[in-house]
Structure 1
Amino acid sequence: MAFSTRRVAVAILVAALAIRVAWVFATPDYRLVHDALDYNRHAISIANGDGFALSYGRETAFRPPAYPIFLAGVYWLFGPSLEWARLANALVGTGIVGLIGVICAQMWSSRVALIAMALAAVYIPLILVGQSVMSEPLFVLCLLGAIACAIRRWPLAAGVLMGLAVLGRANALILLLPLAWAVWKGPKPALIMVVACALTIVPWTIRNYVVLDHFVPVSTQLGSALAGTYNSEAMNNTENPAAWMSLKRVDDYRPIFNRVRETNEAVLEKELRSASLDYIKDHPGSPFKVAYWTSRRMLDLGGWDWAIHTAGTVSAGKRAGAAGIVCFWAFALLAIGGAFTRRAREAPLWLWSVPVLMYLGVVFLVVETPRYRMAIDPFVIMLAALALSALTTKRTQVP
């Protein structure tokens, strides 16, 4: 980037950080809900030197460790303050804006990079998730960092960042395939990246084996994710078809869940996973029903009330949630146009496979917007930037 371009980029990053910090201070009544309660509880326990907190009175590997450890570092430095936790995520969100620009500059041009950064700075869904005490911002930061390193063919750095991303969301493991494709100059760089990723994850896997006495690579979430979706109550729900339900409200698996306090978490996960797969075998059309409805929900087309409700899972108010939905629709329309530009077609297929794989990683389970879409949104922003870049270029060329 030229010096003037760098100055504009820095100005955009400062503006992005200011917007996010202002949002934190404008919402002093923020309250922890749902997953954020767990992240906060684990972080306080780790910061106090007690390790991960117990779940239902027994050891747990339900929450991937990257974000609780990051949050524990914030609490260790500044004390267990929600304001500091949110400000830390505001900084992470600003890093996401910067990495979107880096990837666009690597792939296309500084012009596209600046447009993408400007769009990311004001993209409301990223701001909404970024203002919450949730794991997705850190996960997306590591993921985009891994992609930027893979483009530069830095396999060691890409592998470590990919490992950290997996420790944020276990379904990111599948992204090793496109990133191996990206660094490929023969098998050696891809092998270095995979080994670096594995070595980053292994200490947590060993910890899980020690405390749970079972092989758990990252998390025990899959069983409850499957069971909460693949059950008769969820499938027969006429208001929100095939939407994930808390296992406390699912009669099909009550005999399993009622033993939650006395059952090893890894064993419980296996039992729930097995029972869910049995349900799918008995109802082979259920995955297609889930995929249809979760796809609609990912596009915020599954019903206005549901979209507002799921925005509430990151403690976003109704007005903020509604603004995020409308913002996503506007960006998505631009992204559709950007997908048909020459520059989008010239980008390597492995890059576009990342959002596709992230979509496939959740579409058969559960989707809550905006947070479950956060790994895909940077690519929506990139495509929107390509559309705007092409449009403004044509206008300047008109005599």
Structure 2
Amino acid sequence: MSSHGRDLLVRHAMETPMRQLGRPVVVAWIVIFAIALTLRCGASVYWQNRQADHNTFAFGDSFSYWVLGHQIYEGDEYKFGGDDARISRAPGFPILIAGWHWLFGGKPSVISVRIMNSILGALTVVAVGWLATLLFSQRIGLYTGVLTSIYPGAIAMSVLILSEGPFCLFMTLELVAVYYCFWRANASSTSKRCAAILLGINAAMAVLIRPSWLFYTPALFTAVCLLSKHRLRNLSLVILGALAFALVMLPWWVRNYQVTGRFVPTTLQVGASLYDGLRPGADGASNMSFMQEFYRQQTLEDALAQSKPIDTYEYRLNTRLREASLRWSRENPSEVLRLAGSKFIRMWNVFPNSDAVGSGVTRLATSLGYLGIMLLTFLAVISMIRKKSRPIEGTKQASWRIVALCSSPAVYFTALHMVFVSSIRYRQPAVLILSVLAGAGVAICLPCVPFNRGALRADGGSDG
């Protein structure tokens, strides 16, 4: 190849996504980001002003994240609730809060951490729009960005000091990496390997923030290997992604082994969470009042033991709770099925399950926003099914593949929370990804906006 040809190739490879988008689209995304950030920051201030004082939290989980984040910043031992609770929370979200402590000299206000979550939430809007652009077109990407920027459920997750907000960003970036790793047409082997590494890193970050995501990526890798025409090529990428995942998780795994002498992949709250969802008197909602009795039983058993237990108290308590839940489930299979149905309804209910979810206006906005996203999603899916030989304008991948990827978080979280406790809180990350399909639904409803028609149709990707 001549030097001139090499220069052209390098210049093309280094062309930034911004230049590829074009100025009108970049301006549109700046506006969408500004709207998303303004809505989230405004909601954060409103929510904080409703609290008893400016240093209180609405949820106990929020307080635990705050304490752990401060401990990381101070260099103290990582634990919440004493020496018997050293693996109660994964460190992802507390690390972000610790970084915010560093930025504010160790004394951040509660509202400032809400603003941090709002910034992450606005970035998530852009990430979801990016995913929609990759799968469909620039136009559908913008529609998706508008939908996610104003979706009440996404705004709420950005306002609350809970792990769902930052988790959504890394979850979305993982799905973006899936596209670049397995679906992008004419991509070089180097770029695919880089995407596989980023996939593993983002998957690990998502798990460190929200441990319930642990089994999604292995399931995704399995599907990619089994359903693809290029199994050997994809297997090498899967192995690379898995290595990157393990490398990011390794410090947490090593630390947990040092504490317990056992391999603990996420936390030692799995037993309590499982018993919360599958136990006598369970109704699908969370009620941890049973914990005091289990603490009493475990403490009594330890006192009567002939020798000092090998495992830590926290590990033994987790095992006791897990075994009690599994034993009850084996003895009451019909009740387990009934609870699964109840939890499904709780998760996907149009109306909030609790009266504690804000005012009547807030509840109405939450319901209407969710209903709108779902109706547009169903419209897009039905259109893809009816026009599978003629995909809707802008579609870059086989329709079934887009639907499978965008619905996979919804399927995963639904299956998970038909076992564990359920509420509309747990559907919000899934709805964010479904909004990609909802953006396609908007494109079906509205006439084409010809701001950049050349970008609306893209070359089809190879079967990854």
Do both share a fold (TM > 0.5)? yes
Q: 2:155 aligns with which of 107, 114, 127?
A: 127
Equivalent residue of 2:354, what SS? helix
Q: 2:258 aligns with which of 190, 210, 221?
A: 210
Matched residue, 1:298? 347
Tell me the percent identity: 21
Residue 238 of structure 1 is matched in structure 2 by none
Could you tell me which of 365, 385, 393 is aligned with 2:420? 365
1:55-103: CA deviation from partner (whole Å, max 9, x where unpaired): 2443421111100111111112112311110010001001110011110
SS in 2 for 1:329: helix
2:200 aligned with 1:159: yes
Structure 1 residue 118 displacement after superposition: 0.2
Alignment of 1:312-331 (within 5 A): 316=358, 319-331=361-373
Residues 246-266 of structure 1, C-alpha deviation per residue, up to 9 Å, x if partnerless? Answer: 144786x57546669996212
Letter in 2 for 1:68: P
Decide which structure has the larger Cα Rg and report it. 2
Asked whether the equivalents of residues 242 and 293 of structure 1 are also in contact (C-alpha less than 8 Å), the reply is yes
Q: Which amino acid aligns with 1:294?
A: K
**Quick check: 1:233 aligned with 2:259?**
no
Please, which moves more after superposition, 160-169 or 41-50? 41-50
- Once structures 1 and 2 are overlaid, which stretch shifts more, 2-11 or 27-36? 27-36
Counterpart code for 1:3:
R
Q: Do the aligned partners of 2:196 and 2:237 also contact (CA within 8 Å) in 1?
A: yes
TM-score (ref. length: structure 1) = 0.88
Instruction: Evaluate the alpha carbon distance shift between residue 83 and residue 95 of structure 1 in structure 2; reply closer, same or farther with a 3 A threshold.
Output: same
Check if 1:70 corresponds to 2:118.
Answer: no
Code of the residue aligned with 1:340 in structure 2: it is: I
Q: Kindly tell me: are residues 250 and 367 of structure 1, through their superposed partners in 2, closer, same or farther at Cα, counting changes over 3 Å? A: farther
Indicate if the aligned counterparts of 1:105 and 1:113 stay in contact, CA closer than 8 A. yes
Give the Cα–Cα distance (whole angstroms) in 2 for the partners of residues 259 and 149 of structure 1: 50
- From 341, 351, 370, the equivalent of 2:383 is 341
> Is the 8 Å Cα contact of residues 75 and 85 (structure 1) preserved in structure 2?
no
Alignment-derived partner of residue 335 in structure 2: 286
1-structure distance, mates of 2:48, 2:199: 37
Partners of 2:179 and 2:341 in 1: CA distance: 33
Q: Does the residue aligned with 1:285 lie in a helix, a strand or coil?
A: helix
Whether the 8 Å contact between 1:224 and 1:247 is mirrored in structure 2 is no
Determine the structure 2 residue equivalent to 1:388.
442
Aligned equivalents of 2:81 and 2:172: distance in 1?
31
1:200 to partner: Cα distance: 0.9
Structure 1: which amino acid aligns with 2:319? K
Residues 69 and 317 (structure 1 numbering): CA distance in 2 closer, same or farther, change over 3 Å? farther
* 1:9 alignment counterpart: 29
In the alignment, the residues of structure 2 paired with residue 295 and residue 102 of structure 1 have an alpha-carbon distance, to the nearest angstrom, of 30
Closer/same/farther in 2, CA of residues 264 and 197 from structure 1, 3 Å limit: same
Determine whether 1:20 maps to 2:40: yes
Cα distance, 1:368 vs. partner? 2.5
Residue-pair matches, total: 381
Does the alignment pair 1:115 with 2:156? Answer: no
Matched, 1:85 2:140: no
Specify the SS of the correspondent of 1:357.
helix
CA contact (8 A) 2:79 2:87 kept: no
Q: Is the 8 A contact 1:21 1:87 kept in 2?
A: yes
Residue identity matched to 2:150: V
Which secondary structure does the structure 1 equivalent of 2:48 belong to?
Answer: coil
Flag as ranges the 4+ runs of structure 1 deviating above 6 A: 257-263
**Backbone CA RMSD of aligned residues:** 2.6
CA distances 1:4-50 after superposition (whole Å, capped 9, x unpaired): 11211121111111111122223332441221111111112222221
Q: Where does the alignment leave 5 or more consecutive residues of structure 1 unmatched?
A: 235-240
Three-state SS of the structure 1 residue aligned to 2:214 is helix
Q: Residues 11, 149 of structure 1: CA spacing in aligned structure 2 closer, same or farther, 3 A cutoff? A: same
Structure 2 match to 1:237: none
- What CA distance in whole angstroms lies between the structure 2 residues aligned with 1:277 and 1:172? 21
